[in-house]
Amino acid sequence: MAIANTGGSNKLNLSYKRSKREMDKQEIQELEKIAAKIRWHTVHSIFSAGSGHPGGALSIADILATLYFDIMKINPLQPKWSERDRLVLSKGHAAPSYYAALALRGYFPVDDMVTLRNFDSYLQGHPDMKKIPGVDMSTGSLGQGLSVANGMALVSKFDGSGFRVFAMLGDGEIEEGQIWEAAMTASHYKLGNLTAFLDCNGLQIDGKVTDVMSPLPLKEKFQAFGWAVTEIDGHSIEAIKNAADWAQTIPEQPKLIICRTIKGKGVSFMENQAGWHGAAPNQEQWQVAQNELNQVLLSLGVKQ
């Protein structure tokens, strides 16, 4: 079975106001459906391209679904709307899931996902803000995104526009020194409108993050830099939503949400495997992955 088009309309927070109330079970399930669709299109697009980074893209699907369909103040019909909330995907290699979230939210056709990495496609291996509607910053060189997010948050703070800024970081990425310069800067300027999600799936291209260059203790380090920090299950929609709401209650500090995730989440043979950091499934592997992802969609009531 295949999903011809899982975009369509959704009824989740399509107004431009952020949702601050508690979510009911139906709303959580709707976001779980979107996360499952993001995973399906992520793996399918990487299979179609013959290259890509599935592991770290799959691990952030639940976060992206919650951000784009519940938390962020955005307008897909006006991608450059000045009052929109911003997201900087600092771990730019996770672009396929980012593109899937944007497409499902209505920024561009879902069917374009199969053009990933084609020479004539606007959907390349890393996000391009000049070509892709909804992308707020071109990323790919690790370590730079938090600095950009700082700049955006400063603008919002100084001109009173009030938009929030979100950054998506990777646990391997924070081995970069620029991340810690940016962390110090965000605290210095009291960027209370900045929230960073840290995808802690524990693996990077060379193996375990703690073996390559351990960033531990994460919470204490960021707190020492002046950040407010919480730690959650990065695959729990409710936990992600609650953490984002918590972030709004702290006006004078940047916030870090440490998300404990599974690299390759949703595809059994990719889960917790560093080898799937940057590899595409072959035809046989895609069939296995597709069957597993379809089963999740069916269990959530998504018609094939």
Render each residue's pLDDT in the chain as its tens digit; 304 residues: 344 343 333 334 433 344 455 679 999 999 999 999 999 999 999 999 999 999 999 999 999 999 999 999 999 999 999 999 999 999 999 999 999 999 999 999 999 999 999 999 999 999 999 999 999 999 999 999 999 999 999 999 999 999 999 999 999 999 999 999 999 999 999 999 999 999 999 999 999 999 999 999 999 999 999 999 999 999 999 999 999 999 999 999 999 999 999 999 999 999 999 999 999 999 999 999 999 999 999 999 998 6
Q: Which of 258, 262, 264 is nearest to 58 (CA)?
A: 264
Q: What is the pLDDT of residue 14?
A: 38
Please answer whether residues 133 and 107 qualify as being in contact, where contact means their C-beta atoms are separated by less than 8 angstroms: yes
Q: What is the pLDDT of residue 8?
A: 36
Domains of the chain: 25-299 (3.40.50.970)
| Cis status, amide bond into 281, omega within 30 of 0 | no
Residue 3: partners with Cβ closer than 8 Å, 6 or more residues away:
37, 40, 41, 294, 297, 304
Q: What is the pLDDT of residue 21?
A: 57
Q: What is the pLDDT of residue 303?
A: 81
Q: Per the confidence metrics, is the pTM higher than 0.85? A: yes
DSSP per-residue codes, the chain: ---S---S---SS-SSSPP-SPP-HHHHHHHHHHHHHHHHHHHHHHHHHT---HHHHHTTHHHHHHIIIII----TTSTT-TT--EEEESSGGGHHHHHHHHHHHTSS-GGGGGGTT-TT-S--SS--TTTSTT--S---STT-HHHHHHHHHHHHHHH-----EEEEEETTGGGSHHHHHHHHHHHHTT-TTEEEEEEE-SEETTEEHHHHH---SHHHHHHHTT-EEEEEETT-HHHHHHHHHHHTT-TTS-EEEEEE--TTTT-TTTTT-GGGSS----HHHHHHHHHHHHHHHHHTT---
